Amino acid sequence: MNNDDDYSFCFTQPNTKDERSLFRQIKKLITEAVENETYLLLCSFYLNNFEVIDLLKKASGPLQGKIYVIVGNTQNSYSSFNAELEPKKEGFSSLTEHGILIRCVKNAHLKFITNGIRSLICSTNMTADGLFRNPEFGVMSPKKKIAISLNRIFFYLWFIKSSLFFNQGNWIEIPVFNRKFPSSFQTKKSPSSPDSKLLLNSNTAIQDLNKNEKIVSDQLLFDILIETLISAKKSIDIAVYNLILNSKPKLKQIKEILGNKARDSVKVRILVPAVKVNYSEEMRRELRDLHQNNISIRYYRELHGKCVIIDNSKVLFMTGNLDPYLLRNNSYDLGYLSTQQTIVENINSLYNHLWAEAAEECNINIPINLHLDLSVKSYDFISFRPPISIKKLEKIIEECESITLFLHETNSLLLIQGAEKRLNIFFEQVDTESLEYTGDILNISGMIDHRIRINKKQATNFSVKKLDLRLFWQV
pLDDT digits (tens, 9 = 90+) for 120-169: 999 999 998 899 988 999 999 999 999 999 999 999 999 999 999 998 88
Q: Which of 325, 287, 335 is nearest to 110 (CA)?
A: 335
**Structural element, H or E, at residue 129:** helix 128-132
Is the confidence at residue 377, as pLDDT, over 50?
no
- Beta bridge partners, 13, equal none
Return the pLDDT at 343: 94
Task: Determine the Cα–Cα distance for residues 443 and 294; give it in Å rounded to an integer.
Answer: 35
Return the pLDDT at 441: 53
pLDDT digits (tens, 9 = 90+) for 378-398: 344 455 545 666 667 777 777
Which phi and psi (to 5°) does residue 354 adopt?
A: -65, -40
pLDDT digits (tens, 9 = 90+) for 211-233: 888 899 999 999 999 999 999 99
Task: Determine the Cα–Cα distance for residues 326 and 319; give it in Å rounded to an integer.
Answer: 10
Domains defined along the chain, listed by start: 3-195 (3.30.870.10), 221-357 (3.30.870.10), 369-473 (no CATH)
Q: Are 287 and 297 in contact (CB under 8 A)?
A: yes
Peptide bond into 386 cis (omega under 30): yes
Q: Name the pLDDT band for 464 (thresholds 50, 70, 90).
A: low
Is the confidence at residue 470, as pLDDT, over 90?
no
Return the pLDDT at 1: 84
pLDDT digits (tens, 9 = 90+) for 42-76: 999 999 899 999 999 999 999 999 999 999 988 77
Task: Determine the Cα–Cα distance for residues 154 and 71; give it in Å rounded to an integer.
Answer: 11
Return the pLDDT at 471: 56
**How many residues are present in the chain?**
475
Return the pLDDT at 115: 97
* Rg of the chain in Å (alpha carbons): 22
Return the pLDDT at 294: 92
Please report, for residues 106, 161, 214, 385, the alpha-carbon distance to residue 208 in angstroms, rounded to integers and kept in the order given.
18, 11, 10, 56
pLDDT digits (tens, 9 = 90+) for 417-450: 777 777 777 777 655 555 555 444 556 666 666 5
Q: Name the pLDDT band for 182 (thresholds 50, 70, 90).
A: confident
Q: Which of 366, 377, 413, 374 is nearest to 395 (CA)?
A: 374
Is the confidence at residue 413, as pLDDT, over 50?
yes
pLDDT digits (tens, 9 = 90+) for 327-339: 999 999 999 999 9
Task: Determine the Cα–Cα distance for residues 437 and 217; give it in Å rounded to an integer.
Answer: 31
More confident residue, 472 or 311: 311
Q: What's the whole-number average pLDDT of the chain?
A: 84
- Give residues with Cβ within 8 angstroms of 158, minimum separation 6: 68, 70, 103, 105
Instruction: Say if pTM beats, i.e. exceeds, 0.85.
Output: no
pLDDT digits (tens, 9 = 90+) for 108-121: 999 999 999 999 99
Q: Which of 234, 227, 288 is nearest to 264 (CA)?
A: 234
Q: What angle do CA 73, 101, 51 make, to 5 degrees?
A: 75
